[in-house]
Structure 1
Amino acid sequence: MEILDILIIGGGPIGLNCALEAQKNNLTYMIIEKGTIVNSLYHYPLYMRFFSTAEKLEIGGIPFISPAPKPGRQEALEYYQGIARQKEINIRLYEKVLKVSKTGDIFDIETSKAVYKAKNVIISTGFYDIPNLMDVPGENLLKVKHYYTEPYPYAQQKIVVVGSSNSAVDAALETYRKGSDVTMIVRHSEISKNVKYWVKPDIENRIAEGSIKAYFNSEIVEITENTVIFKDEKGQISEIENDFVLALTGYLPDFDFLRNSGIELQGDCLNPLYHPETMETNVPNLYLAGVVCGGKDTHLWFIENSRIHAEMIVRNIFGREY
């Protein structure tokens, strides 16, 4: 069986960038991806626009040309999937990594379809797979959605949007403009400061004029088939009629997978242990790249500031082994 120089888990933008860096340095590599190329971006809201400009989303020195100041989801899919085709990236799609173990200096990577061997492993799995649950009765009802794609299914319905992040704000505005009766339940005292600067005034104005109802310092305590029960900032319990709940409360990395791979997790935010100059974890030759590095602090890393991880990792591999 071939022993790869690098096996990359995750075919998102940062995983692709790691593959390009391996190609550039004539290292044998493979990406294993459980879905399609840049699978998380594929599952983003259909009309989502990035906070970053196109040049800050570029990988491998390949220009990202966009006619808009902020590229959208479809443009990003075309860009990253186009790179995979053009550069003939060695990637296995719709194949889930089940286990990473190590015997001596060689990793065994067991997937849903095969077993691979590699000298080095990079985990670049992002954080979009596991919703950050509210843990309230009724959260498992079919009307509760933890992912939002487009507003049309919610037209003329009574919608509760939980959260105040970019995804929650986009969902509230888009469904409101399709005729939905929108109520936002926000645990904090205001709309998140991280909301895109050109969208934040829009949501704040819609709330101020009463077009979108918002309860701050509030949280859901129960969801029923036809209502939502929540506690407001005064501790008062209220019940409102409801058809759908968009629980856009964020997402988490697969911490069990990281633990089972031998990576130490630290603190309340379960930050994975790695060296900030090499991205190597406490397991020798096992590296992290991209958003997964932040643990529960998923806002710390994004495409723009984690593109450098690929170069850091390959530089360390050459320094130690080649």
Structure 2
Amino acid sequence: MDAAYDVIIIGGGPIGIACALTAQRAGLSYLVIEKGCLTNSLYNYPLYMTFFSTSERLEIGNIPFVCINPKPNRPEALEYYRRVTTSNQLNVKLFEEVTGIIPNGTEYMVHTPKGKYHGRHVVIATGFYDIPNKLNVPGEDLPKVTHYYKDPHFYATRKVIVIGANNSAVDAALETYRKGAQVTMIIREDGIGKRVKYWVKPDIENRIAEGSIKAYYHSGLAAVRENEADILTPDGIVTIPNDFVIAMTGYQPNFDFLQKAGIALSDDAKKYPAYNPLTMETNMPRIYLAGVVCGGMDTHVWFIENSREHADKIIQHIRSRA
């Protein structure tokens, strides 16, 4: 641990793995540190999730992602990124959370509960899936309320509220409905989101139109209690019986972690981190950003398919300095 790595990569998701592959091929010493399992965010996606993109757009390091279906699902993606990591013998430490990035002369000291690692450069590729956007309503802390959705079987025969109108919310509403749940959607806007997968959007709209799924538009959750919930609608408060609330309100990067590392954020609500889009280097010398963490609160700007190039930009800039 005393020897300094050329680059320490924080985050073992697809983009962190892409940075590791690129560093390895460039002959740089590197280490990936991931606080959970490999591709932890993907692992925590819903069991039956299907990606919007085709498999070739999810490939990293020019390693083919072979998929029978037009669009891969969660198990196929987990298998692909795991095989990429193991077959290339990438240097990855799992279940080890980074607690600090401390400048140390021309290097950085990366702290975890298990050790301290020296790195000449640091790449932060931590994504945004760890911190949900809270509703800040009474009862949100009840066990019946969750900001993560995994398996529809859990909600069979229950009265379920789903908050949101984009892909995660629509998937949760349709899947729980088909497992026998009585589903009510609370939607802030006047309809289903425009970014919803094109093969799913007609399905949810038809289920709402026929009354199989109840939807309140221009509405929000006002309060949650053990056996019921209040919905603020244009016509006033509506109280309905309720067993579970699935709040698909989105997520945000760990801004505290970025700021403690010295990375500046914009003063507006977007909280854009400061970085050079040509090199991905932040205002902190030799600290880089990669992947969706670059978007601040705009979590729908960066995806695997359009941030894979961050790895090439970062490693090219590191090599040019060497």
User: What is the TM-score normalised by the length of structure 2?
Assistant: 0.99
Alignment of 1:275-294 (within 5 A): 275-294=276-295
Give the Cα–Cα distance (whole angstroms) in 1 for the partners of residues 104 and 66 of structure 2.
Answer: 45
Shift of 1:230: 1.3
Alignment of 1:61-100 (within 5 A): 61-100=62-101
Query: How far, CA to CA, are the matches of 1:247 and 1:232 in structure 2?
Result: 17
Which residue is equivalent to 1:307?
308
Letter in 2 for 1:286: I
SS in 1 for 2:63: coil
Q: Which amino acid aligns with 2:250?
A: G
1:6-45 correspondence runs (5 A):
6-45=7-46
Structure 1 counterpart of 2:249: 249
**2:99 partner SS:** strand
**Pairs aligned (count):** 320
Q: For 1:170 and 1:123, how far apart are their aligned partners in 2?
A: 30
Aligned residue in 2 for 1:115: 116
Q: Which runs of 5+ in 2 are unaligned?
A: none
Structure 1 residue 240: Cα displacement? 0.4
CA distance in 2, matches of 1:141, 1:125: 28
Residue 292 of structure 2 aligns to a residue whose secondary structure is helix
Pair 1:222-2:220 in alignment: no
263-272 or 8-17: bigger deviation: 263-272
Separation in 1, partners of 2:314, 2:281:
7
User: What SS does the corresponding residue of 1:59 show, helix, strand or coil?
Assistant: coil
Paired position in structure 2 for 1:145:
146
Amino acid at match of 1:246: I
Letter in 1 for 2:252: L
Measured after TM superposition, the shift of residue 103 of structure 1 is 2.2
The answer for the alignment partner of 2:180 in structure 1 is 179
Distance (Å, rounded) in 2 between the aligned partners of 1:233 and 1:165: 21
Distance, in Å, in 2 between the alignment partners of 1:63 and 1:71 is 13
The structural deviation recorded for 1:297 is 0.5
Question: What aligned pairs does 1:229-248 form with structure 2 within 5 A after superposition?
Answer: 229-234=230-235, 236-248=236-248
Partner Cα distance (2:115, 2:164) in 1 = 40
1:218-273 C-alpha deviation (Å, 9 max, x unpaired): 00111000111011124x11100000000111111100000000000102111101
1:263 matched residue in structure 2: 263
Match of 1:133 in 2: 134
CA RMSD of aligned residues (A): 0.6
Q: Which amino acid letter does the alignment assign opposite residue 164 of structure 1?
A: A
In 1, Cα distance between equivalents of 2:191 and 2:128: 25
C-alpha distance in 2 between matches for 1:310 and 1:105: 22
How far apart, CA to CA, are the structure 1 residues paired with 2:269 and 2:130?
20
Could you say which residue in structure 2 is the equivalent of 1:317? Answer: 318
Question: After the TM superposition, which parts of structure 1 deviate over 3 Å for at least 4 consecutive aligned residues?
Answer: none
In structure 1, the gaps of 5 or more residues are none
Q: Distance in 1 between matches of 2:174 and 2:140?
A: 23
Give the whole-Å Cα distance in 2 for the aligned partners of 1:180 and 1:120.
50
Q: 1:168 is paired with a residue of what secondary structure?
A: helix
Query: 1-side partners of 2:271 and 2:189: how far apart?
Result: 22
Q: Which amino acid aligns with 2:318?
A: I
Query: What percentage of residue pairs aligned between the two structures are identical?
Result: 56
Aligned to 1:206: 207
Distance in 2 separating the partners of 1:37 and 1:83? 11
* 3-state SS in 1 of match to 2:313: helix
* 1:101 Cα offset (Å): 1.3
For residue 124 of structure 1, report the CA deviation from its aligned partner: 0.1
